[in-house]
Structure 1
């Protein structure tokens, strides 16, 4: 009996050593995954600040915290387990689901581009279309919209994280995916928080109690931030189109090969190769978004409007 007990302890000790050795690779796998999702992280970072524009400045950090909390919960409790379960039971389903998400990103990006160039001020405004809402309702709408967009991006992040640990022990898979979820969420929304409060920091530096040079820096920050946020909005829209189209392209062998061929043809100049791929993907995303927009409008024409039916009743 004692020998059997010590043999069991030896087996447990060996298992712990193997697990520990395996977990040593976790930081490397997390870093590798973070690098692969850099485009999506840029998209998430660029898109989020617009959700607090026009709201009470005192509520900005609170709104970002709400979005970040929901994003982290979605990653930890929904997307990570879903990726693990799908990877085990139905690995074939991951790519189509991501492609649908990619199409949604293209649609969102196209809508933003369309709104930039369409002349809404020339269109008559119907009194029925005007909706008066409270600041609290507006804040809730913004949070809901941000979370809806974030969950698509987060799904892609967690799918890529899973792709980096397939074939690894289950403990490794879980630890890496949880680490990626926490690290990226904190990094993205921490940076977003710094962006949206930078103007307040500038106002603080511009106060007369500080040195004139410090005041000048503060005024410069205040002047620059609106332009920076505008540029960031354009970058976010472009990133939505680029990332969405690239997700779809990776799900189709032919288009995936075309992207690889494009990168290979320009491999001598990596920056140009990356820029060309992004530009092609963004244009393709705009075209996909246009098609999805027409399909959405067609469905709305075919299906009865529940609000009209309710008012008629």
Structure 2
């Protein structure tokens, strides 16, 4: 009897260890999948603060919370079931879907560069938003988030496509929650930075005043930096998705060039790791820029020429 009890306890201990290892595997896979979605996350973080411009300060965080909940609903209730079904029954569709998303990211990055160079888009001062307009603001932000959320989830799914069905589901739920909390937590900090700065600037302490003024002045700089980083990240991630996708579909040239750039950088003593990564990143970003520029040309320049005729 005692022997049977010991054996049972050993079995339970083994099951606990197995469950713990499974949890660790799921967590590690979720981490890898989240890192792969970095480009879209940065873009999402850069875009969202625009939706609270013109709102009274006390309404900013509640609106961000509503957008965050809508984003989470997009990811878990709508996008997750669809992509899980596709991955289970039509897995060959994942690469084309990823490539469509990569092309979209490349287009977004290239379009922002084109707007900056051509002056086609000028930021207008934010108009005041009253309570009756908040619903429209939230709905618009959630619709925009849907595209970015879909891309995040498909990128994450591609990283764990080899896992079992329920493991994929658990990993993607973790990715959805973590990334949503990260993005909108950072957005909340960003939009309240100037308010915190103003309060500090009104304190009697000279050091607090200096920090407050620095925060107020740093807000526009931070938003501009986020926008620039977002453009670079979109081109890099979008381009990398495309070169890997073309390689899987049989066109090996673009990925071969990226690998050649990585190997050239890795040949430099002491800095090989950094330069190798940088070479591959720049190669992917250039490919993304070329594809994005072609899409921008098709969508913006050709219609104008037709209208002129």
Q: In structure 2, how many angstroms separate the alpha carbons of the residues matched to 1:212 and 1:62? A: 32
Q: In structure 1, how many angstroms separate the alpha carbons of the residues matched to 2:305 and 2:136? A: 27
- TM-score normalised by L of structure 2: 0.76
Q: In structure 1, how many angstroms separate the alpha carbons of the residues matched to 2:290 and 2:140? A: 23
Q: In structure 2, how many angstroms separate the alpha carbons of the residues matched to 1:138 and 1:272? A: 49
CA separation of 1:121 and 1:102: change in aligned 2, threshold 3 A: closer
Q: How does 1:111-122 map to 2 (within 5 A)?
A: 111-119=111-119
Do the aligned partners of 2:98 and 2:155 also contact (CA within 8 Å) in 1?
Answer: no
Q: In structure 2, how many angstroms separate the alpha carbons of the residues matched to 1:105 and 1:205? A: 39
SS in 2 for 1:107: helix
Do the aligned partners of 2:258 and 2:279 also contact (CA within 8 Å) in 1?
Answer: no
1:283 is aligned to 2:295: no
Q: How big is the shift at 1:289?
A: 2.3
Unaligned runs of 5+ in 1: 1-12, 123-132, 305-313
1:161 is aligned to 2:156: yes
Do the aligned partners of 2:262 and 2:278 also contact (CA within 8 Å) in 1?
Answer: no
> Residues 172-195 of structure 1: CA distance to partner in whole angstroms, max 9, x if unpaired?
222111111101110111011111
Q: In structure 2, how many angstroms separate the alpha carbons of the residues matched to 1:168 and 1:78? A: 21
Q: How does 1:227-266 map to 2 (within 5 A)?
A: 227-253=221-247, 254=252, 255-266=254-265
Q: In structure 2, how many angstroms separate the alpha carbons of the residues matched to 1:258 and 1:140? A: 48
Do the aligned partners of 1:50 and 1:233 also contact (CA within 8 Å) in 2?
Answer: no
Q: How big is the shift at 1:157?
A: 2.6
Q: In structure 2, how many angstroms separate the alpha carbons of the residues matched to 1:96 and 1:141? A: 33
SS in 1 for 2:97: helix
Residue 182 of structure 1, aligned match among 157, 177, 186: 177
SS in 2 for 1:168: coil
CA separation of 1:138 and 1:105: change in aligned 2, threshold 3 A: farther
Unaligned runs of 5+ in 2: 1-11
CA separation of 1:260 and 1:43: change in aligned 2, threshold 3 A: farther
1:271 is aligned to 2:274: yes
Select between 137-146 and 228-237 the one with higher mean Cα deviation: 137-146
Name the counterpart of 1:27. 27
Do the aligned partners of 1:30 and 1:180 also contact (CA within 8 Å) in 2?
Answer: yes
Q: How big is the shift at 1:298?
A: 7.1
Q: In structure 1, how many angstroms separate the alpha carbons of the residues matched to 2:235 and 2:136? A: 23
Q: In structure 2, how many angstroms separate the alpha carbons of the residues matched to 1:39 and 1:111? A: 16
1:100 is aligned to 2:100: yes
Q: In structure 2, how many angstroms separate the alpha carbons of the residues matched to 1:289 and 1:39? A: 15
> Residues 94-148 of structure 1: CA distance to partner in whole angstroms, max 9, x if unpaired?
11122222222222222222221224599xxxxxxxxxx9836976676556445
- TM-score normalised by L of structure 1: 0.76
Name the counterpart of 1:128. none
Matched residues, number: 284
Do the aligned partners of 1:23 and 1:172 also contact (CA within 8 Å) in 2?
Answer: no
Q: In structure 2, how many angstroms separate the alpha carbons of the residues matched to 1:171 and 1:299? A: 46
Q: In structure 1, how many angstroms separate the alpha carbons of the residues matched to 2:89 and 2:303? A: 35
CA RMSD of aligned residues (A): 3.6
Q: How big is the shift at 1:197?
A: 0.9
Do the aligned partners of 1:45 and 1:189 also contact (CA within 8 Å) in 2?
Answer: yes
Residue 205 of structure 2, aligned match among 186, 211, 215: 211
Do the aligned partners of 1:98 and 1:155 also contact (CA within 8 Å) in 2?
Answer: no
